[in-house]
A and B are shown apart, each in its own frame.
Chain A
Amino acid sequence: MIRFEGVGKRHPDGTVAVEGLDLEVPTGRITVLVGPSGCGKTTLLRMVNRMVEPTSGRVLLDDTDVAELEPAKLRRGIGYVIQQAGLFPHRKVIDNIATVPYLLGWDRKKARARAAELLELVGLAPETAKRYPFQLSGGQQQRVGVARALAADPPVLLMDEPFSAVDPVVRAGLQEELLRLQSELHKTVLFVTHDIEEAVRLGDQVVVLREHGRIAQLADPHTLLTSPADDGVAAFLGRDRGLRGLGLRPAKAVELRPVDDGLRYGGWELALDDERRPIGWIDRSAGTAELQPSAGYRPDSDTLRAALDAAVLSPAGVAVALDADGRAIGTASREAVLAALTPAGGGPVSVRKPDPADAMGTPAGADTVGTADGADVVGTADGADGGR
């Protein structure tokens, strides 16, 4: 655990970066510091490894004041990832990753073996080991940066806007990767960003900072999005915070209508191939065979936001739930998705089932309850096939 106690930083010129801040960063969790530039978030982060010394208060790392520790030694026990990756240009990727093990005096073979392990852990190909940093893309460099920070298996990881210099698609991939790593490694992560979306996506707890490092709100992402502490925080969260909150809730909560119950929705019919993969929607009322694209989501891994998005995109107003192989396992109308939003009071991870009666009023209501994968229902299979 990292604890900030009455921490302040006054620069020699009299400007105040941080003033009287108290904060606990729990062990094994991701805590995100988010705020506009100049709010002191990077200053706070650097106090942990003594790259910045507080002018008042103290920072405790597992109940030890970091000021009592020798800086170089302290730093070798704390992973650090920065925006531009900061890889050493003259060292091959493998030796970049092995930096801290080398500093700790591991022998070369052991350090490189560990580095190779990490290369794989962060999802880079083994042949990347022999490249130089300039031969890598920005996203790859950042992965190497993360691997380097993890090399000596430090319990604490400091991340200073690590993903803000890469394009949005790569950034999303890196964020996902971090969450996957964290689910395996359970590090104590202090993460700094100016991007509230990233904060909400990654944080177990989010600390919204105002200028001078004053805490505007400290909350889990769901609470933050649904009940911001004041108008300032609400404005910082942005106007679609309600919709974004859906991105924190699993799509599992949406009641599905099994594919075998028929594929007609009003004038639209979903066309599947022999493997049950959706091909598109056919407008029966128009009498043509023209296909409109279907939109799908993965109930097991996607969020309510993705489910709603798919329902909104579909011409029939129906999202197609897909399994890992892209086969349709059920459908969810806009109404069904909206019904899943209603039990919001249950908290961010609520998967309480909505009442099937008001979900979509299917005739075979009794059969469909709980058969989200749709595979067990065989009664109307012929009818569904006939629709192709």
Chain B
Amino acid sequence: MDDEPIVRWYWIGDHLGYLGNLLADHAVIALVPVLIGLLLAVPLGLACARFPRLYQPLSAVFNIVYALPSLAVFVVLIPYTGLATQATVMFPLTFYALAVLLPTTVDGLRAVPDSVRQAATAMGYGPWHRLTAVELPAAVPYLIAGLRVAAVSSISLASVGALVGRGGLGYLFVDGFQRTFPTPIVAGITLIAVLALAVDLLLVAARRLLAPWAVREQGAGS
């Protein structure tokens, strides 16, 4: 590897289409689980806010799942979901996303000031109605903060999936390592960073759009 330069630009030029495909694949593998995680975290979070006893056991389960090494989970899942299918990677990533999003949802719902909650009750909101109409919208900044963490970590974790045959940009690391050819590795790292940054900026923009009232309370962006 002594004479091998860090980047051979011609390789990148020759493989633009290939890199594009990997990037799209990576984005799907990493972000669809975050989306599913969000769709699960909101109802679960609301249930936990309504019935606080649920929260402890649920969060314990997701913390344990979160602690499992991703590669081990991928391998365990292969017999059920098959090698080199998207599901093998996306299934555990959904759980990781949920492990991040459930606590942020519950925290967000709990962070609504007591006075707001009492005022809502006193004006005639029932418990569920209040949760969905008052507390959930007020928790949006928390949800988006959680989404930013979940999305970036999911984008990073998804590359491990390459070891079981489906990892989007992660494949570039396996390839580059096996051939002692650093160019694809550098390209992969760069593209993953760009993807993470783009998604993050998108979420910051989403917060400004969905929760313009929170811009001052929680600092603008980053």
A87 touches B119 (CB 8 A): yes
Residues of B within 8 A of A199 (CB): none
Of the stretches B53-61, B143-151, B186-194, B206-214, the one at the interface is B206-214
User: Which residues in window 72-86 of A have CB below 8 A to B?
Assistant: 72-76, 78, 80, 82-86
Of the stretches B76-84, B86-94, B98-106, B110-118, the one at the interface is B110-118
B123 touches A134 (CB 8 A): no
Residues of A within 8 A of B113 (CB): 84, 86
Partner of A89, one of B124, B126, B138: B138
Residues of A within 8 A of B214 (CB): 89-90
Chain B's closest residue to A132 (CB) is B213
How many Å lie between the Cα of A73 and that of B125 in the bound state? Answer: 9
A291: shortest Cβ distance to chain B, in Å?
A: 48
B124 touches A73 (CB 8 A): yes
Whether, in the assembled complex, A103 has its beta carbon less than 8 Å from a beta carbon of chain B, the answer is yes
B212 touches A80 (CB 8 A): no
Whether, in the assembled complex, A99 has its beta carbon less than 8 Å from a beta carbon of chain B, the answer is yes
Interface centre among A84, A86, A100 (most CB of B within 10 A): A86
A88 touches B115 (CB 8 A): no
Whether, in the assembled complex, B216 has its beta carbon less than 8 Å from a beta carbon of chain A, the answer is yes
Residues of A within 8 A of B217 (CB): 89, 134
A273: shortest Cβ distance to chain B, in Å?
A: 47
B119 touches A86 (CB 8 A): yes
Given contacts A88-B138, A132-B212, A134-B216, contact A72 B115 (CB under 8 A): no
Given contacts A72-B126, A103-B124, contact A87 B213 (CB under 8 A): no
B140 touches A90 (CB 8 A): yes
**Contact count A vs B, C-beta below 8 Å:** 71
A90 touches B121 (CB 8 A): no
A75 touches B122 (CB 8 A): yes
Contact count band on B? 20 to 34
Given contacts A86-B115, A89-B138, contact A134 B124 (CB under 8 A): no
B115 touches A80 (CB 8 A): no
Residues of A within 8 A of B138 (CB): 88-90
Partner of A82, one of B115, B140, B211: B115
Whether, in the assembled complex, B137 has its beta carbon less than 8 Å from a beta carbon of chain A, the answer is yes
Residues of A within 8 A of B212 (CB): 132
Residues of B within 8 A of A132 (CB): 212-213
Given contacts A84-B115, A87-B116, A89-B138, contact A51 B125 (CB under 8 A): no
Whether, in the assembled complex, A314 has its beta carbon less than 8 Å from a beta carbon of chain B, the answer is no
Whether, in the assembled complex, B134 has its beta carbon less than 8 Å from a beta carbon of chain A, the answer is yes
B124 touches A100 (CB 8 A): yes
Interface centre among A49, A80, A88, A158 (most CB of B within 10 A): A88
Partner of A100, one of B115, B116, B123: B123
Whether, in the assembled complex, B195 has its beta carbon less than 8 Å from a beta carbon of chain A, the answer is no
B85: shortest Cβ distance to chain A, in Å?
A: 41
User: Which residues in window 81-136 of A have CB below 8 A to B?
Assistant: 82-90, 99-100, 103, 132-134
Residues of B within 8 A of A49 (CB): 122
Residues of B within 8 A of A89 (CB): 116, 138, 213-214, 217
Residues of B within 8 A of A100 (CB): 123-124
B142: shortest Cβ distance to chain A, in Å?
A: 12
User: Which residues in window 143-173 of A have CB below 8 A to B?
Assistant: 145, 148, 158
Residues of B within 8 A of A82 (CB): 115, 118-119, 122
Residues of B within 8 A of A99 (CB): 123
Contact count band on A? 20 to 34
How many Å lie between the Cα of A313 and that of B34 in the bound state? Answer: 71
How many Å lie between the Cα of A72 and that of B137 in the bound state? Answer: 21
B116 touches A76 (CB 8 A): no
B71: shortest Cβ distance to chain A, in Å?
A: 41
Partner of A83, one of B115, B116, B122, B211: B115
How many Å lie between the Cα of A86 and that of B118 in the bound state? Answer: 7
B133: shortest Cβ distance to chain A, in Å?
A: 9
Residues of B within 8 A of A158 (CB): 122
B121 touches A134 (CB 8 A): no
Partner of B115, one of A71, A74, A85, A134: A85
B213 touches A134 (CB 8 A): yes
Chain A's closest residue to B122 (CB) is A80
User: Which residues in window 211-227 of A have CB below 8 A to B?
Assistant: none
Partner-B contacts on A (CB < 8 A): 49, 51, 71-76, 78, 80, 82-90, 99-100, 103, 132-134, 145, 148, 158
Given contacts A51-B121, A87-B119, A90-B211, 6 further A-B contacts (CB under 8 A): A51-B118, A86-B113, A88-B134, A89-B214, A90-B138, A99-B123
30 contacts across the A-B interface (CB closer than 8 A): A51-B122, A72-B124, A72-B125, A72-B126, A75-B121, A75-B123, A80-B119, A80-B122, A80-B123, A82-B115, A82-B118, A84-B115, A85-B119, A86-B115, A86-B117, A86-B119, A86-B120, A87-B116, A88-B134, A88-B137, A89-B213, A89-B214, A90-B140, A90-B211, A132-B212, A133-B213, A134-B213, A145-B119, A148-B119, A148-B123
